[in-house]
Amino acid sequence: MFKFYATIPTEPILDSTYNAGRFWKGSRRKVVSMDIDPQHKPMIAGDNRKMTGVPSAKFGTVIYDPPHVGPQGRDKSRKRFDVDFGATVECGKEQDWNLSYLYPPFLKQAKRVPKPNGLLLAKITDMVNNHKSKWPHCDFMRMAEEAGFTVCDLIIKVRNGPMVSTKWKEAHHARKRHCFWIVCRNGDDCERQSSGVLRE
């Protein structure tokens, strides 16, 4: 994605949801790690909805991979994600059982910290809660546009596994075997400017 979408140098990269850094195993890219949980020893320990101390217009790319799983099964109360998913946010009735409410404050900061024409790459997964599909990838694209980004692409990443989960006796929705990489530009034009190429 970096090679295909880059208009400006993609580095330095701010990974705003770094966690244990699994994305970057074996990579030599210059990544500034940010995470709300200090146990992972990020370079910046803080909430990506505030980004206190993060300079403006410094990064070529911002990476965002937020929690995506809400309360499931019999759990109809508010649920904290710090144990299972490394996040300390709530996902309950007040939030309509999904985590899209996290996006607007993050996007406000994510608009500030990349350079002009920089990239925002977001990994978003849809979910089902209480027999209703939630569509956070649609929420994210709409909210990114509202925040001033240009949404350029939607890439589907398919995981291995059955369409129906083996832990349910009766299924009403297909298991989410995919996630989306949403590509956004901090500018008005998705297409790369290439010398010698005519564009209409």
Peptide bond into 12 cis (omega under 30): yes
What is the per-residue pLDDT for 123?
95
> Across the strands, what pairs with 45?
35
Dump pLDDT digits (tens) for 172-184: 656 667 889 999 9
As given in the structure block, the two tokens for residue 171 are 């299924």
What is the per-residue pLDDT for 35?
94
What is the per-residue pLDDT for 73?
45
Spans of the chain below 70 pLDDT: 68-97, 128-131, 161-176, 193-200
What is the per-residue pLDDT for 37?
87
Which helix (H) or strand (E) is 144 found in, with range? Answer: helix 136-146
Instruction: Specify the residue for token string 């059982």.
Output: 97
Q: What are the residues whose beta carbons fall under 8 Å from the beta carbon of 138, sequence distance 6 or more?
A: none
What is the per-residue pLDDT for 13?
97
> Across the strands, what pairs with 13?
31, 61
pTM of the model: 0.79
Dump pLDDT digits (tens) for 43-89: 999 999 999 999 999 999 999 998 766 544 445 445 454 444 444 55
